[in-house]
Amino acid sequence: MDRTAAWAALGPHADRLKAASLRELFAADGGRFDDFSASLDDLTADFSKEKLDRPALDALLALARACGVEARRDAMAAGEAVNLTEGRPALHMALRGSVAPDVPGVADVAATRERFLAFAEAVRSGAYAAAAGPFTDVVNIGIGGSDLGPAMAARALAPYADGPRAHFVSNVDGAHFADVARGLDPRRTLVIVASKTFTTLETMMNARTARAWLAEAVGDAAGAQMAAVSTNIAGCAAFGIEPERVFGFWDWVGGRYSLWGAIGLPVAIAVGATRFREMLDGAAAMDRHFLSAPLAENLPVLLALVGVWRRDAMGWPTVALIPYDQRLDRFPAYVQQLDMESNGKRVTRGGAPVAQATGPVIWGEPGTNAQHSFFQLLHQGTDVIPTDFILAAAAPAGGEHHVALAANCLAQSAALAFGLTEAEVRAEMAGRDPAEIDRLAPHRTFPGDRPSTTILQRRLDPFALGRLIALFEHKVFVQAALWDVNPFDQWGVELGKAMAKRLTPAVESGDGSGFDASTAGLVARLAALRGGA
């Protein structure tokens, strides 16, 4: 079966299942959990609450085969130039030891890892210190993948952090650095500048501000309290950062896939080299599973197929990602970039318009907080919004808190799936005034039939975090193969950057002539408001 036929084959299954309810699917199959879940060690993905049945899943697996998912996967691991528009491989798996050492370009990965981890340990032990003493705080300055990945991981691994405190600055808004720096001692703070080219506008503006903040306290020693993750050695040296504190990476690692290398330096300083390696080991375990498991048992493949089913067969354009773990509060933002920057594409790898809708809108917040903000819409709104839940069986702050957390997570997935019919509402209200029942029953009815997937693991530790991140990386890759898009470029980021450069002089002068009427009007209004300040 070719790609076009495999896509077309989903249609009849979608039509059939749109008319079926999750209540009916569970009533017809008492073994649904066993039939529609998959595991890797302690990690389980339960997609039994998706509007799928065996024929539909078989059609999705046929689609994966028709789209050459296994061949695309193997080509990526072999170092082929799967990033077609930039003529590069995508070898982020090499950073955790999952690519053969003879693949071109990866020979120095281990040495680079040892170098930045050795520096992390030197900072942690005080062997590398400021003149005032060992570093108490680290401020990482980056944006996009140079910020979202390490910021998310440092937060997730907070119980394991026993080194200098990690802080992150990304926004060009000066308030971000000011708020982070408030309360820090510049004499005991290490600043890491993460920019591959050492020219990223937002990062370098913040870096100059940080250097001035350090210099005000320590004078010419400011450069000694800075490190960089960059390939621009000369640019770093001109900034006052000596080569021994510059840690490089490769053009075959995209920013959103770069946590595993030197971009993870602030995480390594916070939790130590041993814990950082455990995170790499977790990702490598998922890599081995992804590279070897049959499609029907392959967690990233199955989750990707569920996502494509939601997006294209059922027509649901958005996904709520809800980790029931406060320390994963930055995980939805991380996955948002990973997924939407990778697969938010409108043309195929060959440049033709895509035949299907591609990347969904990813958003979310941790439970249980989310229950008290937007879950009203998930349960009773007019749009069906599929939800991905993440839950650990145990947590450092366990006891009754974690029991309540887990119960809420499971309750939400069940409530979304099965709802509460009007008849059930009326039965619950039996004995009350009939007029009041008639008035309130429509408001208290839940339609249900809202799909979700639950990802369950034993605990959130460095190994589990690495495995979880890699699961989502590979899921995104598989979906890109199904949609035939390139998940490793991001040309959509560039136009806004170029226009911002053109607009900077206009904003400074207040003269927006030469731009469209709306932009010119906003420039003028901005200037007027600034003058009135």
> Which pLDDT score is estimated for 1?
84
- Residue linked to tokens 């030891």: 97
Residue 367 above 80 pLDDT?
yes
Task: Tell me the mean pLDDT in the region 296-306.
Answer: 98
Q: Lowest mean pLDDT: which of 32-36, 208-212, 490-494?
A: 490-494
Residue 346 above 70 pLDDT?
yes
Domain termination site, one of 237, 252, 278: 278
Task: Tell me the mean pLDDT in the region 322-332.
Answer: 98
d(CA 494, CA 492): 6
The model's confidence at residue 532, banded by pLDDT at 50, 70 and 90, is low
Position 246: which residue type?
Answer: V
> Which pLDDT score is estimated for 438?
97
The verdict on 270 and 302 lying in the same domain is no
The verdict on 170 and 300 lying in the same domain is no
Q: Crossing angle for the helix pair 462-483 and 145-156, nearest 10 degrees?
A: 140
Domain termination site, one of 249, 278, 307: 278
- 8 Å CB contact between 282 and 466: yes
d(CA 99, CA 121): 26
Summarize the chain as % helix, strand, coil (round to 5).
55, 10, 30
**pLDDT tens readout for residues 106-142:** 999 999 999 999 999 999 999 999 999 999 999 999 9
Give the sign of the dihedral formed by CA 138, CA 239, CA 147, CA 179: positive
Instruction: Give the percent of the chain with pLDDT over 90.
Output: 96
> Which pLDDT score is estimated for 533?
54
In a domain, 77, yes or no: no
In a domain, 211, yes or no: yes
**pLDDT tens readout for residues 222-232:** 999 999 999 99
DSSP code of residue 367: T
d(CA 106, CA 76): 13
Residue 216 above 90 pLDDT?
yes
The verdict on 249 and 309 lying in the same domain is no
Dihedral over alpha carbons 222, 223, 224, 228 (to 10 degrees)? 130
In a domain, 432, yes or no: no
Task: Tell me the mean pLDDT in the region 12-31.
Answer: 97
| CATH number of the domain encompassing residue 43 | 3.40.50.10490
Domain termination site, one of 278, 310, 325: 278
**pLDDT tens readout for residues 243-292:** 999 999 899 999 999 999 999 999 999 999 999 999 999 999 999 999 99
The verdict on 270 and 330 lying in the same domain is no
**pLDDT tens readout for residues 431-476:** 999 999 999 999 999 999 999 999 999 999 999 999 999 999 999 9
Partner residues linked to 361 by β-bridges: 318
Question: DSSP per residue over 123-184, as a string?
Answer: HHHTSS-BTTBS--EEEEE--THHHHHHHHHHHHTGGG--SSEEEEE--SSHHHHHHHHTT-
d(CA 275, CA 290): 23
- Give me the numbers of helices (H) and strands (E) for the chain, helices first please: 22, 11
* Average confidence score pLDDT of the chain: 97
Residues labelled as active-site residues: 341, 372, 497
Structural domain span for residue 393: 3-67+293-418+450-489
The verdict on 257 and 345 lying in the same domain is no
Sort strands 246-247 and 226-229 into parallel, antiparallel or unpaired: parallel
Task: Tell me the mean pLDDT in the region 479-504.
Answer: 95
The verdict on 305 and 260 lying in the same domain is no
The verdict on 377 and 464 lying in the same domain is yes
The verdict on 360 and 501 lying in the same domain is no
DSSP code of residue 252: T
> Which pLDDT score is estimated for 398?
79
In a domain, 318, yes or no: yes
Instruction: Give the percent of the chain with pLDDT over 70.
Output: 100
Count of domains forming the chain: 3
